[in-house]
Structure 1
Amino acid sequence: MADFTPISTLEGDAQFDAYVARPEGTPKAAIVVIQEIFGVNEGIRRKCDKWAEAGYLAIAPDLFWRIGPHIELDPDIAAEMERGLGLFGQFDQDKGVRDIEATIKFTRKEIGGGKIGLVGYCLGGRLAFMSACRTDGDAFVGYYGVGIDNLLGESHAIGKPVMLHIPTADGFVPAEVQQKMHAGLKDNRHVTLHDYEGLDHGFAAEMGNRRMEDAAQLADRRTADFFAAHLA
């Protein structure tokens, strides 16, 4: 069962929608799925549906709601890709993390105080890392997060398990940025990094031209095992 539901901001002065996919029976934990620059589109909703099939309550907040509610873009359409890149510049990431925190608060009530994992892609990978530094989630996964080298100064605040998937030929995350990530996080016992040799940004997209099937399955299997270990 899946549908959109409203969530109150932390301040309680507004609401935003989130796509919620519920498992059959009692959820074993919850997963917050953090969108790319393309909104809570079909690909993100499918990821939620897969987590629900695996027994988790899955929820994807519409983080672009302040710009416009229910923005959905297709990265395989050039004009929509360009619009997504523009939205990245308009989006207030600090407010976005607060909305993620509000989503965690909402979700904890939904599952009776159980554990919550967060997984994000592209912009969402960056926000997952920011959430690991700033929220009380229980485990965090980022796929091809952008600009994480600029966030390393916050990494001392990470106290829960974090996993990052890094394609080495990422057109949005140059090799020097990847090197800074490895150097800045190598001594943090909470953080695990996985490199994917020769792959580009978006390789684990649920659908579309960017997906690289074998690598996507490997990364998703690692993520599923990670959450199984840390959300039990």
Structure 2
Amino acid sequence: MAGQWIELKADDGHGFDAWLAEPAGTPRGAVVVIQEIFGVNHHIRGLTEAFAAEGYLSIAPAVYDRVERKVELGYAEADVARGRDIRGKVDWDGCMKDVAAATAHVGKAGKVGITGFCYGGGVAWVAAARVSGIAAASCYYGGPWNEFKDERAHCPVLLHFGTKDQMIPLSLAEEIPANNPGTIAHVYEAEHGFVCDQRLKNFDATATTLARRRTMGLFAACLDRF
């Protein structure tokens, strides 16, 4: 489903952009998609539209807008450096307010799930603990998991790890679920960022397909109104 830019407002008055994709028929529920460090770029917009194609009202909030608007980066070394710099300036409380606003906006479609990738995987994990209205979360190779490993999720959560990931400690695949009975960690023989087909050295089609199947199973179980 083709998406479009809309503007949302958080409860502190901050206005920000979001990419919204609507399903063809009555929504099964809703999904909030959280970006990598590269902004709501073509890859993230495509993932958002893919969830809409599965029947979910889907939205990707531009959580970088509190620091810099219209951020859309590629995957070269310079883009990585710039993305990390912007990420380091994003306030977590403000980020959660933006996620909450996006969740409320699509909540008209029913129960809301959240998913995120890289930095967004960490955001999705924190949101599963702090943002009301989220019924399930599927979090991919989250950048700040170690920092927030002691958060307590209030909904079922899937965590996706890659055994070849040099940035995310694999030990968290055991540590986080140990503190969260409703959280399940899956480990794949894959690199960091394995879902992104624009990062050819990292992309793994087998891991992506399996993780996607698990994510859709979680959302079907926790979100579907039918």
* Same fold flag (TM > 0.5): yes
Q: TM (normalized to structure 1)?
A: 0.90
Q: Does 1:218 align with 2:210?
A: yes
1:138 to 1:149, Cα distance in 2 relative to 1, 3 A: same
> 1:115-165 deviations in whole A, cap 9, x for unaligned?
00000001100001100110120101110012312213322xx22100000
- Where does structure 2 lack aligned partners over 5 or more consecutive residues? none
| Corresponding residue for residue 89 of structure 1 | 88
Q: Does 1:154 align with 2:151?
A: yes
Q: TM (normalized to structure 2)?
A: 0.93
Distance 2:219 2:67 in 1: 32
Q: Does 1:170 align with 2:165?
A: yes
One-letter amino acid matched to 1:186:
A
Bigger shift: residues 144-153 or 65-74: 144-153
- Where does structure 1 lack aligned partners over 5 or more consecutive residues? none
1:14 to 1:187, Cα distance in 2 relative to 1, 3 A: closer
Secondary structure of the corresponding residue to residue 7 of structure 1: strand
Number of residue pairs matched by the alignment: 221
Give runs of ≥4 in structure 1 deviating > 4 Å.
Answer: none
Q: What does residue range 1-232 of structure 1 map to in structure 2 within 5 Å?
A: 1-11=2-12, 13-75=13-75, 77-109=76-108, 111=109, 114-136=110-132, 137-155=134-152, 158-174=153-169, 178-186=170-178, 188-197=180-189, 199-209=190-200, 210-232=202-224
Secondary structure of the corresponding residue to residue 64 of structure 1: helix
Identity %: 36
Secondary structure of the corresponding residue to residue 171 of structure 2: helix
Distance 1:207 1:228 in 2: 27
Query: What's the offset of the Cα at 1:69?
Result: 1.2
